[in-house]
């Protein structure tokens, strides 16, 4: 396929774009600054300069592509207004451009945080969502907007906490989660498995207008997550703030529909392979 990837200079998008190329897809990356994306172009990825918040730049980016994989998002550091603008309105602008260009498929990477606190019980895709923070609220709004568009083959992939593949995400989140309960569990997914899931969504003809959780087989507690990067367990001093990040995900649908099986079913598997 000819695939446009947004967010291709980010943690998820950059690794995904490279794996799509390795699988034989022709990849175009939507970037705001071509000078910051030299590594992408050096690996055979075409650059399309544009901005989600500048709709006039988007038609050229989507012209001639078979599918869009929309990974771009504004997460940490975003005000509620900024999160809504980029993650909801920006997605709407991109979807409209894709629809007008006759793009066949639109894969939207969302987040498991849309479920909100669920008391440690893994949420399924059709469960009610009650996110606390602005970021998952904006992603949920974008999901609902996309799934209401007729004539655009939309597939939503809700991601867990993504790690591995040289990404220092676990180490980077330690200061933020230092006050969370050590026994709070977190759904995880390896970058290699994110790519596997996206590729399955791209290549399967059906079903469309469908939401999928992508998740490892095991959700470790935060003490185990911290220990994987040599850090002491969090101290549990702010359990109330931790609730916004306590959503757990059930991953059966993507296995049953698409035959997905994690390459790294557990964090321990990735650690053992030197891929955490």
176 in a structural domain: no
Nearest Cα to Cα of residue 177 among 76, 82, 81, 73: 76
75 in a structural domain: yes
200 in a structural domain: yes
Paired residues of 111 in beta bridges = 159
86 in a structural domain: yes
Nearest Cα to Cα of residue 264 among 182, 207, 193: 193
Identify the pLDDT of residue 76.
80
Identify the pLDDT of residue 75.
87
Per the structure, the count of domains in the chain is 1
Assign residue 144 the CATH number of its domain.
3.40.50.720
Mapping DSSP onto H, E and C, the string for 17-31 reads HHHHHHCCCEEEEEE
Residue range of the domain that includes 80: 2-167+188-218+249-265
192 in a structural domain: yes
Instruction: Give me the tens of pLDDT residue by residue for the chain, a chain 276 residues long.
Output: 999 999 999 999 999 999 999 999 999 999 999 999 999 999 999 999 999 999 999 999 999 999 999 999 998 888 999 999 999 999 999 999 999 999 999 999 999 999 999 888 899 999 999 999 999 999 999 999 999 999 999 999 999 999 999 999 999 999 999 999 999 999 999 999 999 999 999 999 888 899 999 999 999 999 999 999 999 999 999 999 999 999 899 999 999 999 999 999 999 999 999 999
Tokens representing 144 are 């609902």
């Amino acid at each position: 396929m000819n695939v446009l990837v947004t967010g291709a200079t980010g943690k998820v998008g950059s690794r995904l774009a490279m794996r799509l190329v390795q699988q034989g897809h022709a990849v175009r990356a939507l970037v705001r600054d071509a000078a910051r994306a030299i590594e992408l172009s050096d690996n055979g990825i075409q650059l399309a300069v544009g901005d989600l918040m500048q709709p006039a730049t988007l038609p050229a980016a989507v012209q001639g592509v078979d599918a869009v994989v929309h990974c771009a998002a504004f997460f940490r550091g975003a005000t509620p207004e900024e999160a809504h603008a980029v993650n909801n309105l920006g997605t709407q602008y991109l979807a409209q451009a894709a629809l007008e260009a006759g793009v066949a498929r639109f894969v939207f990477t969302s987040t498991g945080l849309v479920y909100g606190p669920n008391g440690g019980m893994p949420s399924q895709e059709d469960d009610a969502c009650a996110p606390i923070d602005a970021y998952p609220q904006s992603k949920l709004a974008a999901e609902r907007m996309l799934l209401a568009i007729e004539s655009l083959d939309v597939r939503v992939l809700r991601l867990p906490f993504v790690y591995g593949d040289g990404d220092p995400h676990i180490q980077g989140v330690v200061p933020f989660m230092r006050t969370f309960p050590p026994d709070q569990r977190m759904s995880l997914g390896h970058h290699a498995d994110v790519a596997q899931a996206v590729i399955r969504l791209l290549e399967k003809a059906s079903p469309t207008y469908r939401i999928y959780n992508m998740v490892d087989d095991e959700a470790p507690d935060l003490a185990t997550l911290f220990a994987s990067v040599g850090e002491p367990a969090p101290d549990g001093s702010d359990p109330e703030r931790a609730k916004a990040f306590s959503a757990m995900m059930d991953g059966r649908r993507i296995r049953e529909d698409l035959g997905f099986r994690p390459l790294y079913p557990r964090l321990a598997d990735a650690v053992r392979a030197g891929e955490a």
